[in-house]
Amino acid sequence: MSKIWGYRCTNNQLEKLLLPEQGEVDDLVRKYGEGVYTTLRTYHRNRVLFLKEHIYRLEHSAELSGVFLTVSEASVRDLIRALIQEANGKDIRIRLIVPFSSPETVIGMATFLTPPSMEDYRLGVAVETRRMHRDNPQAKVTEFIQKASEIRKQIGKEIHEVIMVDENGRLLEGLSSNFFAVHQGKVWTAGQGVLPGITRELVLKCVQELNLPLNLEGFPYQRLYEIEEAFLTSTSRGVLPVRKIDQYTVPQTPGKITTTLSTRFQERLNQLLEEV
């Protein structure tokens, strides 16, 4: 359970939300009905990464669902500033939602940021796989939040993330992350059937800058034992090594390529941060 606070902005008018003092953001999403969402975090109190891309994600996801948003960038910035003001100088994780029933309204809910531990980055995390996929991987719709929340309640505490596997047996993505594997010096990550995560896109640019071989395919599950390195990417995680996939122990955690990409990602992130 975490402290939650939030605001609603409709036609550039801010209104504080009446939310329970403690709870889970995912459990509150259903209160606002079907819609689209994006998740971001702050850095150094009042800086964010790729805010315009987050707003575009909201608009594009809505269009794929047949809804056209009228939310302005200025209203999103005002809402985020209001959330930051209540954070007492701490970094926060922000969920932005636009309900289909009110395309002129953006809702923002915040919790204090709780990134993975230093031990997780040093030793890697355990994940498990599940046969499933997003119905529309290009659209970030709130319906999936509820599905993911139910799955998380079913897994053990030692499992950090669930990796989706498609009908062809390819490793796709996590419930709230993108998945990368490394085999014989080549980076693998699904190019289709996955949400094009904003952190993922920056990591892919780092792959290109470092001239690393890249295969935009999901790694075959039946060849799981060939994976030499693996990692997750997301807003809250950055680049997070994976040490175990189901019963398979990844031999290099974190491996050389994961470590190199993590360093380059952090360098590029620091260059690209913007003040809200």
pLDDT digits (tens, 9 = 90+) for 103-152: 999 999 999 999 999 999 999 999 999 999 888 888 899 999 988 999 99
Structure confidence by residue, pLDDT tens digits, 251-262? 999 999 999 999
DSSP state of 50: -
Reference 238, options 191, 209, 276, 197; nearest CA is: 197
Asked whether residue 27 falls in the same domain as residue 131, the answer is no
Q: For the segment 39-60, what is each residue's pLDDT rounded down to a tens digit?
A: 999 999 999 999 999 999 999 9
The whole domain housing 124 covers: 118-272
Average pLDDT over residues 216-239: 97
- Same domain membership, residue 191 and residue 259: yes
pLDDT at position 20, please?
86
CATH for 152: 3.20.10.10
Same domain, 127 and 183: yes
Q: Give me the mean pLDDT over the 177-188 stretch.
A: 98
64-73 tens-digit pLDDT:
999 999 999 9
User: Contact at 8 Å (CB) between 162 and 130?
Assistant: yes
Domain boundary among 67, 83, 112: 112
pLDDT of residue 73: 95
- What burial letters (b/e) apply to 198-217, b meaning 16+ CB within 10 Å? bbbebbbebbeeeebeeeee
Which of 90, 112, 134 is the C-terminal boundary of a domain? 112
Are 262 and 192 found together in one domain? yes
Average pLDDT estimate for 25-39? 91
Q: Of 79, 112, 145, which residue sits at a domain end?
A: 112
Those residues whose C-beta lies under 8 Å from the C-beta of residue 156, and which sit 6 or more positions away, are none
- Interval 36-41 mean pLDDT: 96
Q: Are residues 16 and 148 in the same domain?
A: no
Helix or strand (DSSP H, E) at 61: helix 51-64
pLDDT of res. 236: 94
Residue 191 banded pLDDT, cuts 50, 70, 90 = very high
Residue 243 in this model has a pLDDT that exceeds 80: yes
Q: Is the pLDDT of residue 220 over 90?
A: yes
